[in-house]
Amino acid sequence: MSDQPLTLTDAAAALRAGTTSSVELTQEAIARADVLDEQLGVYVTRLDEHALATAQQADAELADGLDRGPLHGIPIGVKDILAMAEGPTTANSLILDAAWGHERDAVVVERLKAAGAVITGKLTTMEFAIGLHDLAKPFPRPRNPWNPEHWPGGSSSGTGAGVAAGLFLAGIGTDTGGSIRMPAAYCGVSGLMPTFGRVPSAGCVPLGYSLDHIGPLARSARDCGAFLGAIAGDDSRDPYTVDRAVPDFLARVGEPLQGVRIGVERANHLGGELDDPAAEPAFEEAVATLAELGATVVEVEIPHYADTVVAQIVTMVSEAFAYHREDMRERWGDYFTATRAFVGTGALYSGADYVQAQRVRRVAQRSLAALFADVDAIATPTASTGAPTYEELERRGVMRPLGTLYTPYWDAVGNPALVVPMGFTGAGLPLSLQLAARPFEETLLVQLGDAYQQATDWHLRVPPLAAAVASAA
């Protein structure tokens, strides 16, 4: 296999410099999938022929001077809960009606096609974007490229694993409680959950209607910003998208961090008995790096943290159960075991519980807005451990590792959050830094993440398993 660019940004530059072609990038992506996909379980459906045809078209268009932007000619993957006309949409489930997404594109997929992206296939997800893999069901088991005995995180498992292993340069994930940021963190790549309402979700199988965010996973923060620019913006088919101008998310890349105030939250995120010993030093080093780059760092406490996380859970399972109740009545055993365990609890909360959760979400938003009057961004670890093993998940259940994951708060309040790699555990598993900002300030997050990544190289580390594929070429 050839030595193709590692990041979307570099690949886009190489395409325009003529040092590579979309067909070459796509052939590389396909060749890597040929070697690694069976082991890593990245794809539910591969679309090799479609991808190569799209790549040929992209090369021809670029040669003719038609430039559709930074995704033009770039191999990407799409989580298999978004409809795409060229292939089936399964949500990794036996339940989803095949007719639902048949020969249709989700709004985001429409936009990716218009941007000239080369969609290489539909990617593994936890069933309906929640829970864990079920060995009794006929879907690939996703594995972590840093150690296949470990979970890649979920629910955008295939996207995280695929970007880390170089099966594509970027991909679509969705995030209701952390499903972009968790696999990005566990797989050692970057992930950007945009502000709620920034990206339309029409054509994406819902999990929690008021919590679902669609966004990119890629090597770098800059890649994520470029990707978000192609999929953001209002759409009449989505009741939740906001009619708001889409900025250039790369506009502040390269600007100094002087004047940027970053609140650091430790109280709810570090010091737990399950924490990996490397997590706290890695986080402190990341914070120090941001300070060295010019940011002002202050200690903060995120308001109503525990209550808001509970509100997220009540909201998610209640909204999910409304969607799934009839199928759960009729086809309980066809659902994955973990899906039943999570979504089934939605039957146990009352309507008043749901509404109270929405009142608490508003309380949190109000208090958080006051905090953001004093700081521009908030930094936390994304998780305080590396990815758990499958053996641990099967023995202890998924709730234990989820207790060391610090993503659901931001789904509940709707603010954007970017995660970037910040080091490794002693066992060689990635650790991750989370940065959150005011609503619709993704541009600041991309600036911060890019500045951090210009000073570090964690985001460019390649899993040995994937590096071995390249060196064997």
Partner 1 sequence: MSAASPAAIDAMLDAAGLAPSPAEREQLLAMYERFKPGVEALYALPEARYEAPALVFQAEPKLTAWGA
CB 264 within 8 A of CB 298: yes
Would you state the structure tokens that stand for residue 233, as one six-digit string?
A: 């913006």
Match 């591969």 to its residue by tokens. Answer: 46
Active site residue ranges: 79, 155, 179
User: Considering beta carbons, is residue 152 or 303 the nearer one to partner 1?
Assistant: 303
Whose Cβ is closer to partner 1: residue 57's or residue 305's?
Answer: 305
DSSP code of 3?
-
Contact 215, 195 (CB under 8 A): no
Which residue lies nearer to partner 1 by CB, 315 or 432? 315
* Residue closer to partner 1, measured from CB, 221 or 357: 357
Q: How far apart are CA 472 and CA 416, in angstroms?
A: 40
- Residue 145 Cβ vs partner 1, minimum distance, rounded to whole Å: 31
Of 251, 249, 204, nearest to 227 (Cα)? 249
CA dihedral 171, 172, 178, 183 (to 10 degrees): -20
Q: Which residue is associated with the tokens 């829970």?
A: 131
Q: How many CB atoms lie within 10 A of CB 395?
A: 10
DSSP H or E stretch at residue 163: helix 157-165
Report CA-CA distances (Å) from 23 to 34, 66, 67, 150. Answer: 16, 17, 16, 33
Q: Smallest distance from the beta carbon of 182 to partner 1, in angstroms? A: 19
- Residues making contact with partner 1 (CB under 8 A): 104, 106-107, 202-203, 210, 236-239, 304, 306-307, 310-311, 313-314, 321, 325, 328-329, 332, 337, 340-342, 344-345, 347-349, 353, 355-363, 365-367, 399
| Separation CA 447–CA 460 (nearest Å) | 18
- In 3D space, the residue among 220, 393, 413 whose CA is nearest the CA of residue 312 turns out to be 413
Angle, CA 54 vertex, CA 237 and CA 14 arms, to 5°: 110
* CB-count burial class (<10 Å; 0-12, 13-18, 19+) for 38: exposed
272: number of Cβ within 10 Å: 12
Encoded tokens for 404: 């060391």
Query: 405 near 298, Cβ under 8 Å?
Result: no
Give the residue with the Cβ less far from partner 1, 288 or 399.
Answer: 399
Shortest distance, position 132 Cβ to partner 1, whole Å: 13
| Residue 352 vs 472, nearer CB to partner 1 | 352
Nearer to partner 1, 270 or 341 (CB): 341
CB of 94 to partner 1, least distance (A): 17
Pick the closest to residue 339 from 169, 152, 190, 155 (CA basis): 155
CB of residue 251 to partner 1, shortest distance in Å: 29
